[in-house]
Structure formats: C-alpha cells, structure tokens
Amino acid sequence: MTSGCSSRWAGALTRTSDNQWQCGYRNLLDERAGLRRAIRRIQARLAAPASGHVGRIRGYASRAERWQKQHRLDILTTRLGRVDARIAQGRISVVRGGRPLLQTRQHLEAAGLTEPQWRQRWQAARWFLAADGDAGYPLGNGTILVHPEEGWLELKLPAPLGYLANRPYGRYRLSCPVRFSYRTDAWAAQLASGAVRYDISYRPERDRWYLDASWTRLRRPVPTLAELGGFPRVAVDLNAGHLDCIVLDPSGNPVGAPHTIVLDLEDRSSTTRDGWLRAAISQLVSLAKAHSCRVIAVENLDFADARAEGRETLGRGRRGKRFRRTVAGIPTGRFRDRLTQMCANQGLWVVAVDPAYTSRWGRQHWLGPLQHHKPTIVTVHHAAAVVIGRRSLGYRARRRPGVPLTHRRMGAGESYRPGQPRSLVGAGPDPPARRPGSPTWDARPAAATGSGLGSRWPRNRSRPPVSD
C-alpha cells in the first residue's frame, strides 16, 4: 500500500525512519567520544609509576590496581574499535518500538505481563501515524485536520483506501469528538496563523487513542544580560533529589523565604523521570510568575566528561562510588533542555552561569545571614543559589563588608574594592581576614547559545575561595 500512497504519507514514513537512524548515529558518536575520554585518562595515569607522579598526574596507588587499569584499558580499546567499525560501515542499531520494551519480553513475570499483553503493547509501540503541518492548508495541516470549535477530526486517506472515505475528496471523519485538555488556546491560535503537526498513538493498557499536536515557535530576539539586569530572578541550585531556589531582586538581595522542590528520580523509568522533571520545572515556573520574575538563573553544569572517566575523576572506594552515584542521578542536560523549552512557552529567559565554588562561597558569605531570618529551612544549597543569582546579575559572589543583614543595601560610593580605605564602608563588623591576593571579579565576555531560547552562558566567575 505504500507505493500507492501520496507523497505526503510516504514522506512521513521515510522521515520517521530517517529520524530514528539519525538518533542511533548520534548515540554511537557520543559513545565513541566517551570511550576516547576514558582511554585518554587511563593512559595518562598509566604513564606515571605506581604511587608516583609525572608532573601533576598521579599514578595508581598500587601495582595491583595499575594492572587492573591496564586490563580495563584493553577492554575499552576493544569496544572503541567495534564502535569505529560500526560508524565506518553505517551499521546503526534501531529498535522500532523501543529497546526497553523489547527487553521486557525476557522478564514478563517481573513486569507483571502475559505474552499476549506484551505482544499487544509491542505492536502498538511500532505503530505510528504522523503528519507534518503546512501553513498553506486550512487548519494548518493537509493530512490530519482537527476543528478547534466543532471538535471533529478528518484524515486524508491513502489512495488504496479511498473507498472507505465518508467525506468529499477522499477524507474520513471520525465519529468520536476530539478535544485537547492542555494549552487549547495556544493550539487554536496556531491553527489560525501557522502549521501544526499531529501524531496519533494507541495505548493498549488504557484502550485509548491519543492525539498530540506540536508546532514550532517563532524565534524571539535574545536580550542582552544588561537588558535583563533590571528584573528580579529566581536562582536555582540543582542537586540530586531536589531543586533549591531563592528569589533575588535586581540588586542581588534575597527576597522572601527560600524554596525546595523535590525531584525524586532514583530507580524510576525514563518516562516517569521525565514526568517528575517536568512537574518540578512547572513549580519553578510558577514560583517565577508569582514573584514577577522574568529570569531564571541556573548553573551551567555538564558531567559528560566526568561520567565517561568515572572513578578516574570522581574518586574510588566507597566514598567515590557514592559520589559517582550522586552525579549520575543529576539530570543536568535534560534539566537544562526542558527548562529552556518550558520557559520559552511562558515568556521567561534562562541565564546559565559558571558553577565554580558556588557552594563554598554560599556557605562562607550567605548561609549565616539567611539562617538569621529562616533558621529552620535554609541549607547551604539555598546559599549557593544566592551566589548563582548574583553571578547572573554580574555581581561578586561574596557579601560586601558593612552589610551584615540580607535586607540592607549600601548607598552610593559604599561598595568595597580591594585597596579601598575601610572608612568608605558603612558601619558593621569587619570582614574576616584574608591572605594576600584575595579573590577579585574576573570578567570575561559572555557567549550566547545557539538555541535561540534566551540561554546565555556568562563566564564571569570568582577565583577559588580562600579559607579563613
């Protein structure tokens, strides 16, 4: 029947297959990059003698550990050779229906499924019915039409199935009504002005058919950091199991009580993890709306290199294993992508800053003043969020002398700089003594991302904090 279909239906088939192939190809490239990083790190440490150093590179603790790492290097090299061969030959592994569901076939009792039930889900997962939108057609699509007011859905049937049409021009109208329960107004507005893509799927466990609508938003001009500096913002510290947030005014002062959003992703499926992540981001967006914020400041975290190198970077033993497990549970990339997408729908902007020493600066300068006002709910993560928000505003992370309480502001000419006479600083306790060469603000040009969603990655950061 495919040969008799129109180019619109045939394009949907070939495009879906090509998208799956491209996704598998990108996964292979990521796997090769991770293997190369791990191999380089192990080779560098193997170049140093056991219990010795070569420059700043430390060798392994014992000869037995060194031998085990040599064995692991051989395994990683073999895996890299296989991946390089698959990339060169273009052999991409694609499972229509999903590899997790395919693996469930071998563990039906653990999944609580019978073979007929699994077979029904497997067939439903392999079905797809999709149609790209076209602004030149009525209602934004020439293959699947949905009326926003009357609630009917019509399909343009392929030529071999034209005898089943119950509407003119080879169309079939469903007898059941169709409605959207989420963002209905935005969908209706898009129908009047642009293209809409539709995807039809079947859930056998619920015995229901679902219709998904999607469209491309117009790119908005990305404002500069200076233009966003006059607005309050929500600063977020991403941790394993929770998001710690605090609202800052344009002067960099915390406003109101800090907030903690639970993010329980451990031992959950990918779809459940994504749902929990979306729910947490929705609470974050609601918090920003409630305080009239236009900016959400986050850390530019990326654990790709550390996850690939594993214990070579994140430590060994019981403590290192626990830390690696914590790092693996922080969805840095997924959180950043979901946050920019959902903020774009709500008219918010995302600013990402350098994550260096945010916790140490927050503990040193902001934890005490915050606990003075909210002693029971403030943690070091909330203090780190204050540092993140101040960096997004272009301010120093450390608190200025003469401002012991968070709600006090300094007047004109009172900001302290190294070498400035202490008499210009307002009344208050002297700052703790520091070693020569105290941290200063290192301003570097900010680079905008290519997402077009307002994400900025400023490289303004302080030098490492000095222990008192």
pLDDT of residue 399: 63
How distant, in Å, are the alpha carbons of 95, 332, 338 from that of 31?
A: 18, 18, 23
User: Above 90 in pLDDT, residue 73?
Assistant: yes
CA–CA separation, 377 vs 258, rounded Å? 8
Binning pLDDT at 50, 70 and 90, where does residue 404 land?
very low
Contacts of 275 (CB under 8 A, 6+ apart): none
Burial of 42 (0-12, 13-18, 19+ CB in 10 A): buried
CA distances from 57 to 43, 392, 447 (A): 11, 34, 31
Q: Which residues pair with 203 in a beta bridge?
A: 208
Q: What is the DSSP string of 164-233?
A: G--BTTTEEE-SS----SSSHHHHHHHHHHS--EEEEEEETTTTEEEEEEE-PPPPPPPPPHHHHTTS-E
Distance of CA 457 to the CA centre of its chain: 14
Amino acid at 80: L
Residue type, 40: R
pLDDT for 139 equals: 87
Per residue in 29-57, pLDDT (tens digit) is 989 988 998 898 899 889 888 888 888 88
DSSP, residue by residue, 56-117: TEE--SSHHHHHHHHHHHHHHHHHHHHHHHHHHHT-----TT-HHHHHHTT-HHHHT--HHH
Are 141 and 131 in contact by the 8 Å Cβ rule? The answer is yes
* pLDDT (0 to 100) of residue 26: 92
Question: Which amino acid appears at position 311 of this protein?
Answer: R
pLDDT number for residue 4: 66
Task: Please report, to the nearest 10 degrees, the dihedral formed by the alpha carbons of residues 158, 164, 166, 170 taken in order.
Answer: 20
- What pLDDT is stored for residue 447 in this prediction? 34
In the structure encoding, which two tokens stand for residue 181, read together?
């329960």
Return the pLDDT at 452. Answer: 36
pLDDT one-digit tens code per residue, 182-197? 888 889 888 888 899 9
pLDDT tens per residue, range 76-102? 999 999 999 999 998 988 888 888 889
Kindly indicate the confidence band of residue 388, based on its pLDDT and cuts at 50, 70 and 90: very high
In the chain, the N- to C-terminal Cα span, in Å, equals 76
Least confident of 160-164, 249-253, 309-313: 309-313
Q: Rank 19-33, 315-329, 416-430 by mean pLDDT and report only the highest.
A: 19-33
Average pLDDT (404-413) is 42
| pLDDT the model gives residue 136 | 84
